[in-house]
Structure 1
Amino acid sequence: MDRLRGRSVGAGGRDGSAVADESTGPGRLVLAATPMGDIGDASQRLRDALASADVVAAEDTRRTRSLAKALGVEITGRVVSFYDHVETARIPALLGDIADGRTVLLVTDAGMPSVSDPGYRLVAACAERALPVTCLPGPSAVTTALALSALPVERFCFDGFAPRKGGQRREWLRTLASEPRACVFFEAPHRLADCLADAVEVLGPDRRAAVCRELTKTYEEVVRGTLAELAAWAVDGARGEITVVLEGARPTAADPADLVEEVEALAADGLRLKDACARVATANGVSRNELYDAVLTARRDGAD
């Protein structure tokens, strides 16, 4: 079990109110969610962290500086880039900053770091070295889309971006054919129509879904319907950032023929055949009469 003991890992400022300085031990890594579009979604904790962090590691330094300016915040710490192609190279220096007692704030262009954005490797490296990590919660396209989908989402899985190539995408969709949980994933607007067409082919036209576009932004749009309806809608093209919520697979009744052995086992233990059929049928959501007929058919076939 990965467990970090010690002082609170709150995201305080450089005044030392909640941040360890070089004389008291390690600093900390702070993951902060940033607005997806509406600047009003920025938390006060994000504002305070941008103003007080010793180092701000940003997926796009220009966008982060623009965000800070829009929030009326002055970044006083060192700003370094932290995007996919430089992530691995930046980690040793950031770990050194944290070990020396500095607060490193990690932000991406929108939403939560590590969720289909840079951050996972840095968090893992901190955990391996027992360096404190905390998180400032906030906007997330995943949970926002789930809430807006109007689908049953008590249980869900997140699959990041759908595969780009058609063959790989259809193979991925096959893994969702019997997935009972709702699935949320990201898709590029220029691939959305092909993705939904593949989903119709693999999952059937009647599976329900929701396409959420430009969440929290001026032109936010949520389109709900069956996969067939959404595929037809997407043919004309869609713009912006896309999050798709796919309904979980609905339970299907078992084939009565597959339950014959279970009935025969109960009958062999002394249960009347009709009672055995009733018990197994109820447990598996099939017709008692159909199961009884399947047992009799199996017995006749076995006697021939």
Structure 2
Amino acid sequence: MIHEFAEKWTRIMTVEAGVLYVVATPIGNLADWSTRAVETLRSVKQIYAEDTRHSASLMAHHAIGTPMRSLHEHNEEARVEELAKQLRNGDSLALISDAGTPLISDPGFKLVRALRSQGLRIVPIPGACALITALSAAGLPTDRFCFEGFLPAKAGNRRQRLQQLVDEPRTIVFYEAPHRIVETLNDAAQVLGAEREAVLARELTKTFETFLSGTLADIQAQVEADANQQKGEMVLMITGAPEKEQDDWQPEAERMLNVLMAELPLSQAVAMAERLTGIAHKPLYKLALSMKNRET
């Protein structure tokens, strides 16, 4: 049994030729890093980092001496063929961001998409992710949520994006920069409603980690009153809008079904209405049947 475990562990810890490893890094506490992640970065031929200067201290802390090159939003596309050539030559490589899981509001999407389209292998090494870490301790509904990344920096564009989310029923998760948090909370309260329940997580896994909870108005007041709450990395989570009652959706759905059923069979009309409105299939089908029966 011990021998089998040792063999399995060795296979897990051995990097493979021609593979790009997407490696999550700590979001604050340096102890939040798996042995597999550390050993992978020690074993690959080269690490591509969002900011090599930022990552240098993390590498030094864990005695990782692997050469690093930069890969960020300004040079990502230009790096694609460079990495592809290395992978085809059998080199093992790693991609990291400044903190957390690469590609989650960080560079890497264009690279991974392009390499996959060339048939090259990408292997994730899981670890910390700020949005999941925040949700796990926020006390808000987590059975369904949507991640919206960073809101636009300009006020008008930010309010427009929030307006698009007014009726979103899932818990909404944002990342936000500290210098914009007051304005974002103010806009969210105005657009989504000051009484909407929310949680602001700040400096996750670090010494000054805090969770502020209450209504958007409550959190806005706390942040405005305390300059310390306007510092550090932030995750803002807001409860979704209440699900629409039948009386709310039925008139709109009936108008749409009237148009669709004039051109399509009932089942196709219901399927199309479901895609366009997001209303569940069963109540739409029941409504369509009742409409058809009224016509006969």
Deviation at 1:18, TM superposition (A): 4.5
Residue from 45, 63, 78 that aligns with 2:54: 63
1:4-54, Cα deviation, whole Å (9 max, x unpaired): xxxxxx9977xxx4413xxxxxx0110000000101101101110111111
Change in CA separation of 1:176 and 1:256 when aligned onto 2, cut-off 3 Å: closer
Give secondary structure in 2 for the equivalent of 1:210.
strand
1:133-169, Cα deviation, whole Å (9 max, x unpaired): 0100000001011112111111011111011111111
The gaps in structure 1 that reach 5 residues or longer are 1-9, 21-26, 263-282, 285-304
Change in CA separation of 1:257 and 1:203 when aligned onto 2, cut-off 3 Å: closer
1:261-285, Cα deviation, whole Å (9 max, x unpaired): 98xxxxxxxxxxxxxxxxxxxx99x
Alpha-carbon distance in structure 2 between the residues aligned to 1:189 and 1:115:
18
Alpha-carbon distance in structure 2 between the residues aligned to 1:180 and 1:11:
44
Q: Which position in structure 2 is the counterpart of 1:28?
A: 19
The share of aligned pairs that are identical, in percent, is 40
* Alignment pair present for 1:250 and 2:248: no
Change in CA separation of 1:19 and 1:171 when aligned onto 2, cut-off 3 Å: same
Between 131-140 and 82-91, report the one with greater CA deviation.
82-91
Deviation at 1:119, TM superposition (A): 0.8
CA contact (8 A) 2:23 2:125 kept: yes
The 5 A counterparts of 1:1-304 are 17-20=14-17, 27-71=18-62, 73-76=63-66, 78-236=67-225, 237=227, 238-255=230-247
Alpha-carbon distance in structure 1 between the residues aligned to 2:133 and 2:43:
29
CA contact (8 A) 1:213 1:220 kept: yes
Give the alignment's TM-score, normalised by structure 1: 0.75
Alpha-carbon distance in structure 1 between the residues aligned to 2:75 and 2:195:
43
Give secondary structure in 2 for the equivalent of 1:124.
helix
Give secondary structure in 1 for the equivalent of 2:31.
helix
CA contact (8 A) 1:184 1:243 kept: yes
Greater helix share, 1 or 2? Answer: 2
Q: Which position in structure 1 is the counterpart of 2:293?
A: none
Alpha-carbon distance in structure 2 between the residues aligned to 1:195 and 1:19:
45
Deviation at 1:126, TM superposition (A): 0.9
CA contact (8 A) 2:52 2:68 kept: yes
Change in CA separation of 1:69 and 1:256 when aligned onto 2, cut-off 3 Å: closer
1:167-199, Cα deviation, whole Å (9 max, x unpaired): 111111111111011111111111111111111
Between 100-109 and 88-97, report the one with greater CA deviation.
88-97
CA contact (8 A) 2:159 2:191 kept: yes
CA contact (8 A) 2:15 2:92 kept: no
CA contact (8 A) 1:12 1:52 kept: no
Between 185-194 and 57-66, report the one with greater CA deviation.
57-66
Alpha-carbon distance in structure 1 between the residues aligned to 2:61 and 2:248:
64
Change in CA separation of 1:33 and 1:256 when aligned onto 2, cut-off 3 Å: closer
Report the residue type matching 2:147 in the other structure.
F
CA contact (8 A) 2:80 2:115 kept: no
- Aligned-residue CA RMSD in angstroms? 2.3
CA contact (8 A) 1:214 1:241 kept: yes
Alpha-carbon distance in structure 2 between the residues aligned to 1:160 and 1:256:
30
Alpha-carbon distance in structure 2 between the residues aligned to 1:194 and 1:39:
31
Deviation at 1:257, TM superposition (A): 11
Deviation at 1:69, TM superposition (A): 1.4
Structure ID, larger Rg: 1
Alpha-carbon distance in structure 2 between the residues aligned to 1:104 and 1:198:
42
Deviation at 1:252, TM superposition (A): 4.0
Deviation at 1:256, TM superposition (A): 7.9
